[in-house]
Amino acid sequence: MKHKKLATATQAAALIPDGSSLLLFDGYEPMSLIRELLRQNRRRLTLYSCGPAFAASLLAACGAADHILAGCDSESCFIPGALHVSRAILNAQLAAAVNGGDHASVAVPERLLAKAPKLYREIPGIFDTGTQTAAAALHPDVAVVHAARADFYGNIQLDPSADMRDADTLRLAAAAKTVIVSAEQIVSDDAIRMNALRGLFDPNAVTCVVEAPYGAHPTAFATRYRADEELLREYEAQEDSAAFARQHLLSSPDQDSYLAGLGFERLISLTTNRRGEN
């Protein structure tokens, strides 16, 4: 019999104890779960951020993260306090873990060899190629992803209108020991079958699923709503980001109250596609 995996945000956050390492993906940010982690006052997290995830900045600003390794290709998107590598290097490290290797042979800039010797090293080439550089496989404790649709059994999908080019990156979540998914909508397994080509993960790899409409707010969820630029700009402009976050992002006890606080009009004004359909 198939096992139902529906959980509340509180239950899901309990799977991420202090000191965990957390894998995040830019553009698929489970902000409702991140808010729950901050409400529960998580500390000493290590973050692996595929892209410049706002969640990583927020967790760091609120004192929840000790270390951040971010795969960003543009300095303008760098996360304060993070060790930055290219997306290609971070993705290769996660892919190595998914494929059962202990490292990825990739070109690593010299500054990283000196800065993070536990992660990046020079190694002898095995095909008479002299030396080469290698990056250690990453095994995050937990991957957290915000997706469009999930059924009760952990089948996870993007919307029919989604660009599936991100799917390969999102599938790197399998590098983590635990995969937690928040979804815009819990749908029937018939709806999942109807949209079968949009699947993301093997449901056996998904630990639990949380329904979170507008769960990526204030960031965008490309097939349903745009980023809340006004709020993000205000956040960026603050000297004390943590105080701003406490007042505007964390003052509600749960996601329902958070959405009620934003209000119907604001949510609708951000919405670009109510159903994610073509």
Partner 1 sequence: MTTSNKKLISLKEAAALVPDGANISFGGFAETNNPLSFVREMIRAGKKHLEISGMGDAQSVELLCGAGAVDLVRVSNYMAKNGRCPNFCRCVEQGAIQTEDYSHFGITNRFFAAAMGIPFMPVKVMIGSDLCEIQNFDNGSKVMEFDDPFSGERCGIVPKLSPDFAVIHVARADAEGNCQLYGITSSIEIIARAAKNVIVTAEEIVDTEEIRRTNQFTVLPSFFVDHVVHCPFGAYPGGVFTYYDYDLEHLDLITRSGKSPETMTAYFDEWVYGTETEAAFFDKVGVRRLMDLRADPYSGVSLRNRRQFL
Q: Work out whether 3 is an interface residue with partner 1 (CB under 8 A).
A: no
Residue 229's Cβ-count burial label (10 Å; 0-12, 13-18, 19+) is exposed
Query: How many Å apart are CA 150 and CA 189, to the nearest integer?
Result: 9
- Tell me phi and psi for residue 51, to 5 degrees: 90, 170
Nearer to partner 1, 186 or 205 (CB): 186
Q: Is 45 helix (H, G, I), strand (E, B) or coil?
A: strand
Residue of 14, 107, 164, 260 that binds partner 1 (CB under 8 A): 260
Q: Work out whether 268 is an interface residue with partner 1 (CB under 8 A).
A: yes
| Min separation Cβ 274 and partner 1, Å | 6
Q: Which of 111, 30, 29, 20 is nearest to 64 (CA)?
A: 20
Q: Work out whether 116 is an interface residue with partner 1 (CB under 8 A).
A: no
Residue corresponding to tokens 């543009």: 74
**Sign of dihedral through CA atoms 194, 196, 201, 203?**
positive
Residue of 83, 191, 227, 242 that binds partner 1 (CB under 8 A): 191
Q: Work out whether 252 is an interface residue with partner 1 (CB under 8 A).
A: no
| Min separation Cβ 202 and partner 1, Å | 22
Stretch that binds partner 1, among 42-50, 73-81, 170-178, 252-260 (CB under 8 A): 252-260
Binding mask 117-156 for partner 1 (x = CB under 8 A): --------------------------------x--x----
**Inter-residue contact 59 to 144 (CB < 8 Å):** no
Query: How many Å apart are CA 278 and CA 161, to the nearest integer?
Result: 5
Sites of contact with partner 1 (CB under 8 A): 4, 149, 152, 185-188, 190-191, 193-195, 213, 256, 259-260, 262-265, 267-268, 271, 273-275, 277-278
